Amino acid sequence: MDYFEPKTITEALSVLAKYGEHANVIAGGTDVMVDMKYKEEPGCLVNIKKIPGLDTIQENGASLQIGPLVTIRDIETSRLVRERLPLLWESCHQFASLQIRNTATINGNIYRASPSGETLAPLLALEAKAKLAFRDGEKTEAFSSFFQGPGKTSLGSKGLLTEIEIPYPPKGSHGVYLKHAVRGAMDIAMVGVAVLITADAGNSSLQDVRIALGAVAPTPIRATKTEALLRGRSLTAALVKEAATLAASESSPITDQRSSAEYRGWIVEALTRRGLEQSWKAASGKEVV
Amino acid sequence: MAKVEHTVVGTSPARMGGVERVIGAGIYGIDLALKDELHGGILRSQYAHAKIMSIDTSEAKKVPGVHAVVTAADAPDVRYGRTYIDRYMLAKNKVRYMGDPVAAVAAESPALVKQALKKIKVVYEPLPVVLDPEETMKPEAPTLHEDMPLPKNLPADVKVKNVCSYTPVHAGDPDKAMAEADIVVDEVYETKMIHPQYLELRIAAARVEPDGRITVWANAQAPFSVRTDVARLLGIPLNKVRILSTELGGGFGGKASGITSGAAIEPICALLAVKAKRPVMIVLDKAEETISTTIRSGAKMYIKTGVKKDGTIVARTGKVIYDAGAYSGFGAMAGARCTNMLGGWYLMPNVHIDGYVVYTNKHVCGPVRGPGGPQAAFAVESHMDSIAAKLGMDPVEFRLKNTPKPGDKIVGVPKLRDVSLGETIRTAAEQIGWGKVKLEKNQGVGIATGSWIESAGPGGGAVVKVNEDGSVTVHIGKIDMGTAPGFGIPLIAAEELGIPVSDVTVVKVDTDASPWDAGTVGSRAMLVSGTATRLAAIDARNQLFKLAATQLEASPDDLEIKDKQIRVKGTPSKSVSLASVATAAHNVIGEVIGRGYFDNVAMVAEEKARGSSQPFTTHACIVEVSPDTGNVKILKYVAVHDIGFPIHLASVEGQIEGATAMSIGQALCEQVVFDNNGRTMNPSFVDYLMPTINMMPRIETTLVDGYPGSGPYGAKGAGEIACVPPMAAIANAIYNATGVRIRTLPLSPENVFRALREAGRRKSKHCEE
Amino acid sequence: MSLTINLTVNGNSQSATAEPSTSLLDFLRDTLNYKGTKLCCNTGECGACTIIYNGKPINSCVTLAADANGVEIVTIEGLADGDKLHPVQQAFIDTGAVQCGYCTPGYIISVKVLLDRTKEPTPEDIEEAVSGNICRCTGYTKIVDAIQLAADRMAGRS
């Protein structure tokens, strides 16, 4: 197995161009090393941790820029993230274990593009954007189109993620990220639901709503029909129930060793309902009736 | 139980070997490194059931750095097993589960081993796979073992196949009694396969010595069984094989190979060492463990009970279908225990239960912590609550009503000497706040009892050698995996010899030097090795007194040892140091060597005469169920036990807490999951979910006074019994919270949610259907 | 292809070579002969391989040895001061929280980091620190006791 520790993005892109599908990018290593032990070693391992400037969190006007090499733990302990992007904070707080959070990077979670990747539904709900670098140039892409299938992203085999940009949600927004798992520690999400609502000035209806679902489709998805159903309306128990059912119908979960598709659908309902109720309570101080 | 004055037994000093463990000393099997060693690896079957048409190892042998490639053809045509001798160490002619070893390689590095294994060409002819023992029992099922007979005691009119053991539990006239019962409850319960998941990976290392003997290092619970198997399977004399035990990082019955016809990697490793002419070490990896090593079997249990209106149980009938897996392994013993225990440990005048242990194309049953017991208790104790519900009777009262008294018999135990069951029920009920505790919505309280017989088994010996400074070494045939040899055994030697615990060393097992023993299994460490150690220490003490008597001008009967001084009772000034007497032995008999043994035949006779005093337990818990996801959280958990006398208190509590946690895991999140081809789908900890600290309640242990057991100082075995009640306690609490009875494990969020949904859909009352 | 790794382990400078794919766990155990850090699940799911890496507890089984270049590592072997055990080590012994002992080094490392950070850990702090550590023997009850006792002793409350 060949091994590189590129010192610049250009150098890294050059290696990736040469090796293509035979190269694995490694950041924290918590995913890649498990693969290496249980599958074949890749032809080439590209360790990007020596590239400077990719490990910072900084504010840029009304958005937060997170470098790909920022660890999940650093996101979790960032006051800015906790205050301004609680959805992302929550997903990092529930991520694996402390030991894993200390080395796993958000790059890895995104690169892996596992349907159940913990941070992915929040990134969609927050309408975050990815900055991608290729040999022939850079581009910025919304995460909503970045994920193309399990393990498949716009990066292909030759691109590098260089920045994650997350606009702060509109003032007065409230949201939650809810993860369903068996143990409450170290679990991979069986279902993840991120809900973000913006109440209108009078706290009577939903000016905007975003619902992102994780682990229940080939990629993380937005429940756009459910959002359309809710936008502009006042939340009632009946509407929340209807929205939850609709959200479940927008998902396409599979049956695997963790869970059946049917059960995942029921949990989408349950967590969408809870997410809307909790977000509404946080926004308006009122229960949904 | 009467309180006796002891010096050190009954306390909780630091465990022997505690310092090594907290500083990370390299004491475990996996830490071993032999000079000049090769790495070994095993090729396992890719089919759950197939004929082996051919194995071509020629390409693998050509890989530079590969020193040996072996298959069944390289070993004698000898099989092993506990009840049925049905298993080759490397599969011959057939493979019967994915995980069956087919070939093995010794090479210079793990990478080369991997390379060579890939180059071994095995041609299989797949056969139909059977995973459900109830299906495999049917006469039309595929045959898994062509040359294994049906059990001799199987009634002639029973038409089954693939059954390797049959246990009838028949007494009284259950048909008549059932017909006369006021209420009958008829249910089916099912548990699933779990893996013991000790943290330290299993290893074997083997070296052929210059004199031709083979030394095998093993992190095995039963070193002498390993010796037997290595000798038999390689076709070499027993005294040419020496097993050296390492420390174990957990075992739980899963590292008891030899006893179980389980993984048996030690003979494979020895064979590689012989062929390679160099030492070989095999280290399994976690996925390989989950896929191939011994497990706790799933069981399907039909249970029907008739009761009178006043709650008196009059009859029980039932059937146990116990999943042995691909080979008989420990299946017969575990299945028999499950079948007996399905009769419960309450008064049961009329009973007819048939237990069948059935081959399937899955992992092999091992003696995993309380084999057969937790499964039976899940059925029995859930069923007790179902009956109580139908009677409209309080579950605690219902159990107390049917609790036996001294002199009574229960299924499997002809006569009880003492019965602490009632005491444990009452104590647990009080501690959990039964009938009193204020429960919130979706919360419930549940109770479940249990019993366990220290497994009937062989005797065992101990030797205590007294060094010239008065310290001692204790030689027993049991290993320490966090169990008695590191905790209570040193206390016993210290107690009887009047020396500090730190002056006692319990020596690791060396089959050349240690007394033969069945190993650390069956909750017998204290009973067997504890008794033997006590008697050996007393024997040593008597010899010391005899040596000291002349010098002290006293009779040996008038002497005592205290604080390393041998002195005349009542005249402490007349004393001589223990060290000087031990040294003086050199000129007389060489050395004071005390010998003791546990006489199993005598104990069985005594139990027969006086009755059995076995451990009883009751557990109780409060749970909270989340109705929209099915998640179950345990809010409070109490474990009440009669352990007779706890020799090392913290160790006994630790065994209870650990065994409870293991069954909580089986209740809530553990299961080996298969696809239709028999492939394990969750081999690693990513998806084999072990209970984590956040989901475990504080396990509040209470030891009731209870009654003395057959162990030293009245101890009873403590290693397994706490595994018995938890699954039912939790299921009963879920029933109390939701009105829904769940009869299949695990009580995972999905299974609980489905059950709630099903019940809601059918809009049923709080009732067993 | 061999890489040279220069690192500090328990205050001692070490230098050795490793293949690029070698995990830090295997490097510590097999190359540098620190057997105290244990191998179990090898997938970052049990915490038996926990070490301190530049001050943070990590799973060494899913970390490259190559990433230890220039790093300060503390393993279980670095905690005792000669014959004097670290308070966390002593507390684990004293409460009976050591049964087979295989999970123990990983726990002690995680707990040491926690108690260096806070003198009065809350239940949430404890859960965060060790919910990535599995124990199969104790059922966790005595481990919680050990953590509490160590905290009390280190803060002078006991």
Domains in chain C: boundaries: 3-78, 87-154
Average pLDDT over residues B715-736: 96
Closest to A279 (Cα-Cα) out of A202, A223, A198 = A198
Cα(B663)–Cα(B724) distance, integer angstroms: 7
Is it the case that residue A235 has pLDDT exceeding 70?
yes
CATH number of A173-284: 3.30.390.50
Tens of pLDDT, residue by residue over B460-481, are: 999 999 999 999 999 999 999 9
For residue C100, which residues of chain B lie inside 8 Å, CB to CB? 21, 198-200, 247-251, 481-482
Contact across the interface for C94 and B481, Cβ inside 8 Å: no
Whether the Cβ atoms of residue B69 and residue B104 lie closer than 8 Å to each other:
yes
B neighbours by CB contacts (3+ pairs under 8 Å): A, C
Q: Which residues of A touch B693 (CB under 8 A)?
A: 185
**Does B693 lie at the interface with C, CB-CB under 8 angstroms?**
yes
Domains A2-167 and A173-284 share a fold: no
On whether any CB of chain C is under 8 Å from the CB of B13, the answer is no
Q: Which of residues 680-739 of B touch A (CB under 8 A)?
A: 681-682, 684, 686-687, 689, 691-695
CB–CB contact B659 C95 (8 Å):
no
Interface test with C, best of A97, A109, A186 (most C CBs within 10 A): A97
| Cα–Cα distance, B415 to B523 (Å, whole number) | 21
Strands (DSSP E) found in B491-586: 504-506, 559-562, 565-568, 571-577
d(CA B260, CA B254): 9
pLDDT of residue A44: 96
Q: If we measure between CA atoms, which residue out of B682, B39, B727, B690 comes closest to residue B363?
A: B682
Residue from A69, A1, A9 nearest A39 by CA: A1
Parse chain A into domains and list their residue ranges: 2-167, 173-284
CB spacing of B694 vs A183 below 8 angstroms: yes
The answer to whether the pTM exceeds 0.95 is yes
Q: Which residues of C touch A99 (CB under 8 A)?
A: 44, 47, 50, 57-59, 110, 132
Provide the pLDDT confidence category of residue B769 given band limits of 50, 70 and 90: very low
- Whether residue B720 lies within 8 A of chain C, CB to CB, comes out as no
Q: Do C43 and B286 touch (CB under 8 A)?
A: yes
| B705 within 8 A of B724, measured Cβ to Cβ | no
Write the pLDDT tens digit of every residue in B89-123: 999 999 999 999 999 999 999 999 999 999 999 99
Q: Which residue of C has its CA nearest to B481?
A: C100
Please name the residue of chain C whose CA is at the shortest distance from the CA of residue B684.
C41
**Residue contact A29–C45, C-beta within 8 A:** no
**Could you tell me the pLDDT band of residue C158, with boundaries at 50, 70 and 90?**
confident
Q: Do B19 and C38 touch (CB under 8 A)?
A: no
Portion 243-282 of A in contact with B at CB < 8 A: 256-260, 263, 266-267, 270, 273-274
Q: CATH: 3.40.50.970, 3.40.605.10, 3.30.365.10, 3.40.50.10470. Which one for B372-453+612-762?
A: 3.30.365.10
Neighbours of chain A (3+ CB pairs under 8 A): B, C
CB-CB under 8 Å, C127 with B286? no
Question: What mean pLDDT is reported for chain B?
Answer: 95
Two domains, one topology: B18-25+456-607 and B372-453+612-762: yes
**Sign, CA torsion A234/A236/A242/A243:** positive
Tens-digit pLDDT profile for residues B286-295? 999 999 999 9
Out of 3.30.465.10, 3.40.50.300, 3.40.50.20, 3.50.50.60, the CATH code matching A2-167 is 3.30.465.10
B629·A270 Cβ contact <8 A: yes
Average pLDDT for B264-270: 94
Residues of chain A with Cβ-Cβ distance to B629 below 8 Å are 180, 267, 270
Distance CA(B443)–CA(B730), nearest Å, equals 11
Q: What is the mean pLDDT of residues B20-43?
A: 97
Spatial separation of the C-alpha atoms in residues B624 and A193, rounded to whole Å? 23
Q: Between C63 and B571, whose confidence is greater?
A: C63
Task: Calculate how close chain C gets to B163, using CA atoms only, in Å.
Answer: 33
- Can you tell me the distance from the alpha carbon of B430 to that of B65, in angstroms, rounded to the nearest whole number? 66
d(CA B511, CA B508): 10
Report helix, strand or coil for B573.
Answer: strand
Who contacts A128 (Cβ-Cβ below 8 Å, separation ≥6)?
A142, A143, A164, A165, A166, A167
Averaged pLDDT, B379-387: 98
Confidence grade of residue C139 (pLDDT, cut at 50, 70, 90): very high
- Which H or E element spans position B233? helix B223-234
Peptide bond preceding B746: is omega within 30 degrees of 0, i.e. cis? Answer: yes
> Across the interface, do B252 and C136 touch by the CB < 8 Å criterion?
yes
Residues in chain C closer than 8 A to A3 (CB atoms): 1, 3, 20-21, 66
pLDDT of residue B409 exceeding 90, the answer is yes
CA distance B251 to B237: 28
Rounded mean pLDDT of B610-634?
A: 95
A184 touches chain B (CB under 8 A): yes
Q: Is the pLDDT of residue A219 over 90?
A: yes
- What is the pLDDT, as a whole number, of residue A201? 87
Q: What are the pLDDT digits (tens) for B192-218? A: 999 999 999 999 999 999 999 999 999
Residue A41, helix vs strand vs coil: coil
**Six token digits for residue C52:** 């301190």
Least confident of B444-448, B620-624, B712-716: B712-716
Q: Which phi and psi (to 5°) does residue B760 adopt? A: -65, -40
Given 2.60.40.10, 3.40.50.10680, 3.10.20.30, 3.40.50.1820, which CATH number is that of C3-78? 3.10.20.30
The per-residue pLDDT for B262 is: 54
Among the partner residues B687, B694, B749, nearest to A257 by beta-carbon distance? B687
Kindly report which listed range (A111-120, B486-495, B601-610) carries the lowest average pLDDT score: B601-610
Which pLDDT tens digit goes with each residue over A90-135?
A: 999 999 999 999 999 999 999 999 999 999 999 999 999 999 999 9
Fill in the amino acid letter for A195.
Answer: V
Q: Which residue of chain A comes nearest to B753, CA vs CA?
A: A263
CATH, range C87-154: 1.10.150.120
pLDDT of B502 > 80? The answer is yes
Give the tens place of pLDDT for each residue, A2-53. 999 999 999 999 999 999 999 999 999 999 999 999 888 999 999 999 999 9
Collect all residues of chain B within an 8 Å Cβ-Cβ radius of residue A259: 750
- Helices marked H in B80-213: 110-119, 133-136, 174-180
Per-residue confidence at B263, pLDDT binned at 50, 70, 90? low
> Which residue(s) pair with B715 in the sheet?
B644
Cβ–Cβ gap C62/A1 under 8 Å? no
Q: What are the backbone angles phi and psi of residue B187, rounded to the nearest 5°?
A: -140, 170
H helix intervals, B323-463: 331-342, 373-391, 395-401, 421-432
pLDDT at res. B768 = 38
Inter-chain residue contact B753 with A274, CB threshold 8 Å: no
Tokens 């071994």 belong to which residue?
B120
On the question of pLDDT at B523 being above 90, the answer is no
Instruction: Give the DSSP letter string of B259-289.
Output: TSS---HHHHHHHHHHHHTS-EEEE--HHHH
- Judge: C36–B24 Cβ closer than 8 Å, yes or no: yes
Kind of pairing between the strands at B472-476 and B163-171: unpaired
Confidence of residue B765 (pLDDT cuts 50, 70, 90): very low
Picking from B597, B480, B485, the residue whose alpha carbon sits closest to that of residue B532 is: B597
Question: Taking the domains of chain B in order of start, what are their residue ranges?
Answer: 18-25+456-607, 372-453+612-762
- For residue A5, list chain C residues with Cβ-Cβ distance below 8 A: 66
Question: Which residue blocks in A72-135 are alpha helix, DSSP H?
Answer: 72-76, 79-84, 86-93, 98-103, 106-112, 120-125
Give backbone dihedrals phi and psi of A193, rounded to 5 degrees, phi first: -130, 125
Q: In A, which residues are within 8 Å of C56 by CB distance?
A: 73, 102
pLDDT at residue B490, as a whole number: 96
Q: Does the structure show a pLDDT above 90 at A268?
A: yes
Q: Do C76 and B24 touch (CB under 8 A)?
A: yes
B contact test, residue of A190, A255, A263, A272 with most B CBs within 10 A: A263
Min distance B101 CA to chain A CA atoms (Å): 19
Q: What is the greatest pairwise CA distance in chain B?
A: 88
**So what's the ipTM on this one?**
0.98
C104: chain B residues, CB-CB within 8 Å: 21-22, 24
Give the nearest chain B residue to C51 (CA atoms): B24
User: Chain B within 8 Å of A40 (Cβ-Cβ)?
Assistant: no
CA distance to partner chain A, nearest, from residue B112 (Å)? 14
Residues in chain A with CB shorter than 8 Å from the CB of C110 are 98-99
**Which residue intervals of chain A are DSSP H helices?**
9-19, 32-38, 72-76, 79-84, 86-93, 98-103, 106-112, 120-125, 143-146, 224-230, 237-250, 261-284
User: How many interface pairs between A and C have CB atoms less than 8 angstroms apart?
Assistant: 83
Question: Do B653 and C96 make contact, defined as CB atoms within 8 angstroms?
Answer: yes
Beta-carbon-side half-sphere exposure of residue B365 (alpha carbons within 13 Å): 32
Distance of CA C136 to the CA centre of its chain: 17
Question: Which B residues, 266 through 285, put their C-beta within 8 Å of a C-beta on chain C?
Answer: 285
CB B124 within 8 A of CB B51: yes
- Phi and psi, residue B674, nearest 5°: -120, 155
Segment 226-255 of chain B within 8 Å of chain C by CB: 247-252
pLDDT confidence band for B551 (50 / 70 / 90): confident
Question: Quick one: tokens of A121?
Answer: 């539904």
Which residue type is seen at B648? H
8 Å CB contact of A263 and B694:
no
Enumerate the residues of chain C whose CB falls inside 8 A of the CB of residue A109.
none
Contact C140 B693 (CB under 8 A): yes
Query: Rounded to whole angstroms, how far apart are CA atoms A27 and A104?
Result: 7
Nearest-Cα distance to chain C for B523, in Å, is 15
Q: Is C116 on the interface with A (CB under 8 A)?
A: no
Q: What one-character DSSP code corresponds to residue B25?
A: -
- Establish if C120 touches chain A: CB-CB under 8 angstroms: no
Give the other-Cβ count within 10 Å of B501's Cβ. Answer: 18
CA distance B247 to B241: 20
- Give pLDDT, residue B767: 40
Point out which residues pair with C133 in neighbouring strands: none
Give me the CATH topology for the region B18-25+456-607. Aldehyde Oxidoreductase; domain 4 (3.30.365)
Average pLDDT in chain C: 97
Instruction: Report the SS3 class of residue C57.
Output: strand
